[in-house]
Structure 1
């Protein structure tokens, strides 16, 4: 399997990148190929301007050179993974801008859907599972990613995975999270889409 791994964090020495590196190691050890797209270091502009505004009157549109480049990059892979910190119970603006601009009309939805068979959303949360469960933030995030985004663009297997307490200092906790990230890469081809990803 050829996986496009998209990472969104302003610092390469962040725990997000440590998780991404361990995830990629798992992918490779399982025999998969992967390309890592670092949205910040690539210089990607998350702001949607007129050139990339969806044209509802046409089946296809030629978008800006930057977006067309990213569309071609996505076409080279048959699976996707996104690794990012959870800020304000959602993805960072950089990643949201990538989805807004690249997963565009005529490519990801409308006259055409994405060909990718699976996507993993790997979010890092500074708080605990109990905090997220208290107000069902975990379910909200999973529903948004699996149904609002992945199902809408035709991806049949979508899984939202959250690593909790990423700011915690308990001995061995960080290494356990990194092992979890490695296992997600190692068993990437085995996960089934969450039940919440099915349209009701």
Structure 2
């Protein structure tokens, strides 16, 4: 399977990029092909301007060259993975802007839907699992990413995975998180979940 792995973090020496490296190593060891899209180093502009605003009266408009290039990149892959820090219990602005601009009307929803087999949303949270569950933040993220975004755009096999306690500097915690990331890559296509609306 060809999997587009999109990474969103301003620092390349972050845990997010270490997780991305281990995840893609798992994909490779499982026999998958992957392309890594580093939104920051790629210079992606997350701000949606008029050229990329949906036109509801048209089945298919021509978007800006940057967005058209990213649409073509997505079309060249069978499945998707997004790796990001959990900020304000949601996606970072860079990744949200990418979704706003690229998962656009006429390509991802509206007259067309995405035909990717599955999507993994891999978030890194400084918070503990217990705290996120207590306030239903993980449930909120599942609802937003699996249903409001992925399912709405035609991807019914959507999964949110959260790596917790990412600010814990103990080596054993760090290694546990990297091992989890590797396992998610290695067994990427062994997980099937149909989103129910």
TM-score higher than 0.5 here? yes
- Cα distance, 1:63 vs. partner? 0.2
1:56 corresponds in structure 2 to 56
Tell me the TM-score normalized by structure 1: 0.97
2:31 corresponds in structure 1 to 31
1:198 corresponds in structure 2 to 196
Q: How does 1:113-132 map to 2 (within 5 A)?
A: 113-132=113-132
Q: What secondary structure is seen at the aligned counterpart in 1 of 2:74?
A: helix
CA deviations 1:5-43 (Å, max 9, x no partner) are 000000000000000000000000000000000000000
CA deviations 1:172-191 (Å, max 9, x no partner) are 01101100000000000011
Tell me the TM-score normalized by structure 2: 0.99
Structure 2: segments with no counterpart, 5+ residues:
none
2:82 corresponds in structure 1 to 82
4+ residue runs over 6 A deviation? none
Change (3 A) 1:171 1:42: closer
2:98 corresponds in structure 1 to 98
Aligned residue pairs, count: 197
CA distance in 2, matches of 1:88, 1:192: 28
- Cα distance, 1:198 vs. partner? 1.2
CA distance in 2, matches of 1:9, 1:61: 30
Q: What secondary structure is seen at the aligned counterpart in 1 of 2:142?
A: helix
Structure 1: segments with no counterpart, 5+ residues:
none
CA RMSD for the aligned pairs? 0.8
- Cα distance, 1:119 vs. partner? 0.1
